[in-house]
Amino acid sequence: MTHSTSPLSHSTTRALTIKAIEAQRTSRTPALVAGVGRHGTTIWSHAVGQADLSDPQVPLGDDTQFLVASNTKTFTAVMTMQLRDEGKLSLDDTVDALLPETTHPNVTVRQLLSHTTGMQREPVGDVWDTLDFPTREELLPGWNEAERVLRPHYRWHYSNLSYSILGEITARLDGGDWAQSLQRRLLDPLELRRTTLRLAAPHTAQYYVPPFTDVPISEPLLDKGGVSSAGSLCSTLADMVRWHGFLLDPDASILSPDTVEEMLQPQIVVDPGWNEAWGLGLELVRRGDHVWFGHTGGLPGAITGFFSEPESGTTGAVLMNNSIAKDPAGTAISLADHVLTHEPELPAPWTPGTVEPEELKPIVGQWFSEGDQFFFAIQEGKLIARPAGADPAAPPSVFEALGEDAYRTVSGRERGERLSIRRREDGSVRQLNWATYRFTREPLGFAEPTP
């Protein structure tokens, strides 16, 4: 896929810089790095503040590590889907089938990915009070002890515990540990060199800024142990923009584009206004005419957010090192949406086709179904269809041949459905049947015979 990116205008970069400074001030975070990417490449970034208040020599920028916390879950979700695509599990497999020593019945992989298990949020014990997290050996006994606090699919209920179990499933099926799988499956192939399980210089220090003073307090680094797959990664602006570039346009040798599309399908709505939903490991946020996907992350001394808009390939990113920094999702989306609104990419030019299959020529043109008008055409050697009056920029239905006079809809309207060509005795095309609905050259009622 080819993309052209022009430098952003001075007015846009100034507006983005103001947004970044405002976010740093509102969050009172000692350090903030913000950025916007297109198709996995950073096209604007800005750093505000100081990475380490005890050492002004620590650089702050695109390559400075922060704790990205629960953004780890997007990596865990992708590895789970890789295992699904490899046939090692299905989304409807239950935890007790994959991990036989567990005792909670009927908890599925799909529920784990979409936070619809109803399982309690955190591992057993007051982990956010003691800051003592279970080891891998302690994880499954704790899972068995944990409560299922809600009925499955009753409502969205965020669960770090559930993502810890996804990590253990990955480790078991890969025959190692989760960190090894992460390195082999994703970090090495995608060359995410600055995404690690331990902070690597240059990196920020972690702080908490109390509400009634402006003097930061150092926060501890946690050992997440057996729950690492829920929120242990450290990364940089540059690496996370690159990661989102992969999610926007995945390398099929690592993960099928169809699988990423599946991950973006809403599994459950989070809020009554239908502005937030959850897919398979990805948060979905609706802002105006766009739906953004991504995740936020929070640990002591770190709040981050990374969100992308699929159609434009635009990513917004923000990394902060204050425990109570504000609205990472809103900040990331606001930055990217400003670019999307004020400086969208130039549209791709129309290019002529080179192939006109003979078998498609009798099919193209105007057709009617239930009185509605459709246009079938040849594009890039394939049969496509659009309703009359559809936005020309909207993707059409695309068909692939199954055999003689039989096609499958592989994208767009009625995806997955068959298109059959019905012929007269002389071989001419009499009608089409698409998802069983009749398409004729003239508008006809249901009871009228095809001429």
**Domain boundaries of the chain, sorted by first residue:** 10-342, 358-439
411-448 per-residue burial string, b: 16 or more CB within 10 A, e: under 16: bebeeebebebeeeeeeeeebbebeeebbbeeebeeee
Higher pLDDT, 2 or 195: 195
Report, as an integer, the average pLDDT of 93-118.
Answer: 98
Phi then psi for residue 299, to 5 deg, are -140, 165
Q: Per-residue confidence at 310, pLDDT binned at 50, 70, 90?
A: very high
Residues 13/7, Cβ–Cβ less than 8 Å? no
Q: Which CATH class is domain 10-342?
A: alpha beta
Specify the range with the lowest mean pLDDT, choosing from 4-8, 11-15, 281-285, 406-410.
4-8
End-to-end CA distance of the chain: 44
400: CB partners within 8 A, 6+ apart: 382, 407, 408, 410
Report, as an integer, the average pLDDT of 356-370.
Answer: 96
Beta-bridge mates of residue 269:
277
Residues 284/275, Cβ–Cβ less than 8 Å? no
Report, as an integer, the average pLDDT of 211-229.
Answer: 96
Residues 48/17, Cβ–Cβ less than 8 Å? no
Task: Please determine, for residue 234, whether its predicted confidence score (pLDDT) is greater than 80.
Answer: yes
pTM of the model: 0.94
Task: Please determine, for residue 2, whether its predicted confidence score (pLDDT) is greater than 80.
Answer: no
Q: Per-residue confidence at 394, pLDDT binned at 50, 70, 90?
A: confident
Q: Per-residue confidence at 38, pLDDT binned at 50, 70, 90?
A: very high
Tokens of 390: 């559809």
Report, as an integer, the average pLDDT of 170-186.
Answer: 98
Q: Per-residue confidence at 4, pLDDT binned at 50, 70, 90?
A: very low
Task: Please determine, for residue 425, whether its predicted confidence score (pLDDT) is greater than 80.
Answer: yes
DSSP at 83: H
Residues 296/303, Cβ–Cβ less than 8 Å? yes
Q: Which CATH architecture has domain 358-439?
A: Beta Barrel (2.40)
Task: Please determine, for residue 390, whether its predicted confidence score (pLDDT) is greater than 70.
Answer: yes
DSSP at 186: I
Task: Please determine, for residue 6, whether its predicted confidence score (pLDDT) is greater than 80.
Answer: no
